[in-house]
Structure 1
Amino acid sequence: MELEESRIIIVVITTILTILGVVFLVVLFTVFQNRKNKLLLERAENKKRYEREIAETQIEIREETLRNISWELHDNIGQLLTLARIQLQHASPESMGEISEIIAKSLTEVRALSKIINPDFINNVKLKKALELEIARFNRLNYIEASLEVIGRELEINQKHGIIIFRILQEFFSNTIKHSKATKLEVFLNYKDDSVEIKAQDNGVGFDVVRIGLKGIGLQNIKARAKLINAEAKFKSEPQKGTSLIINYYI
């Protein structure tokens, strides 16, 4: 009788343990599946946000390019052609060489603009080349004294990531030219073993980071964009000591 009761108890305990084990496994599987689904959903959302950011950045670059073209047509090419027209009205054999030089310069500027307008060029140009063209444009139009220093051997950067980095830098350049009252802009492109450091700095009025904060110059947007491409972005600034933006991009 006691033996039979012991067997019953063992069976009951075994059944309970089996049920608890099954319940535990079901709960564990459910938790794992929920986490997996959540992770997949986050990845899908991050991919959508990334693709949306790429599209928006490309649109912004095109809009910025069109604004630049408008400025160049008015402030540079327009003035060159106006000068050539005035000189033609009072032309003499001695001045023909100078007039020819002005017209040749105008043609060079038009060719440069036509190259930048090309959508394939905008979408496919490498970061280093894009920065070279931007710096050259600033100097050509006398917006600011600008320079680009490249350090190390050039590394291959994901094209879409390069577009976002370039747009981040464009925002900084725009703020420098419009608001900083700077006379000098320096850009350093430093290629390392597995990363690229891009530093842009001006000698403008700067600002108190603690007192003013950084939202007004879009740092949050810049940081969010940098994060999408596995990069870090940070500002440094002091009153009357200029402002700098440092981007660390990990390949």
Structure 2
Amino acid sequence: MEEEGNQIIFILFSGAFLAALMATFVVSMVILHRQRQVHNKQKMDQIKAEYEKTILNIENEIQQDTLKHIGRELHDNIGQLLSLSKLYLASSKPEKQAEGRQLINQIITEVRGLSKTLNLDWVESISLEEFISQQLDKIKSTGFCEVVFNREDENWELDKDQKLVLIRVIQECLNNAIKHASPNLIKILMEKQEGERAIRISDDGIGFDTSLSSQGSGMTNLRKRMETIGGNFQITSSPGQGTDIILSLPI
């Protein structure tokens, strides 16, 4: 009888121990799950903050470039037109006064055009294809080098932030080619591959060693910017072999 009592006590004690162990395990899993939720939330908040910071920086950079462009236009173009129109309107000859009035109309048109670039509404009004074509046309018009632009007929559907980042990254890639590569040809290809869109920017310039720290920091910045919109940045280059850059974005 005493032995049976000891067995019952042992069974009860074992059951209580197992129940406590199970409860401890469940509580530990709940705490671990909660910690993971908090960590994931913090990580998502950090990614969101970095994304918003990147977009803001890019908007500020483009606005600064726009203001510099407007400053040059006001000084070199509109300022000259105003001086000419002042001279013509001060003339006693009717034909000169008529030319002065025509210049005033031209100035009004130029100022209206500049006013549209003071904000970023132009980003929504222009397609990425049109932007790339304009940039390459500007390079070609200077006589710096030849350009080639190949693209599919279908326009890419991008939201404003994606287009903003791509515009800035493409600008930086072209600026780097102009400043450092000394190319005879700059070529851009827009294509759709399996599950993604890709923009390939190539030049036949002097190339460079991508492992050098002086080049690495700039490339890292461009890579991070692409990552903020879920894209990738790949670069291949070596001295004397030109540079090939691929910007890819999932569809």
The TM-score, its normalising length taken from structure 2, stands at 0.78
Secondary structure of the equivalent of 1:214? helix
Spell out the pairing of 1:1-251 with structure 2 (5 A cutoff): 1-70=2-71, 113=114, 115-122=116-123, 125-151=126-152, 153-192=154-193, 194-210=195-211, 214-215=215-216, 218-251=218-251
The 2-side partners of 1:144 and 1:112 are apart by: 28
Note the residue ranges of structure 2 that are not aligned, 5 or more in a row: 84-104
The 2-side partners of 1:36 and 1:244 are apart by: 41
Q: Contact 1:150–1:188 (CA<8 Å) still a contact in 2? A: yes
What is the CA RMSD across the aligned residues, in angstroms? 3.4
The 2-side partners of 1:112 and 1:241 are apart by: 41
Taking a change above 3 Å as real, the CA distance of residues 73 and 183 of structure 1, as seen in their structure-2 partners, is farther
The 2-side partners of 1:149 and 1:233 are apart by: 20
The 2-side partners of 1:138 and 1:80 are apart by: 25
Higher mean C-alpha deviation, range 154-163 or range 46-55: 154-163
Secondary structure of the equivalent of 1:209? coil
**TM-fit CA distance, 1:139:** 3.0
After superposition, give the CA deviation of every residue in 1:201-233 in whole Å (9 maximum; x if it has no partner): 1222211334677325x0111111111211111
**TM-fit CA distance, 1:5:** 1.2
Where does residue 86 of structure 2 map in the other structure?
Answer: none
Note the residue ranges of structure 1 that are not aligned, 5 or more in a row: 83-103
Secondary structure of the equivalent of 2:241? coil
Taking a change above 3 Å as real, the CA distance of residues 118 and 209 of structure 1, as seen in their structure-2 partners, is closer
Identity %: 27
After superposition, give the CA deviation of every residue in 1:68-121 in whole Å (9 maximum; x if it has no partner): 445566778889999xxxxxxxxxxxxxxxxxxxxx999997776554445311
The TM-score, its normalising length taken from structure 1, stands at 0.78
Aligned residues: 234
Amino acid at match of 1:120: D
The 2-side partners of 1:238 and 1:40 are apart by: 41
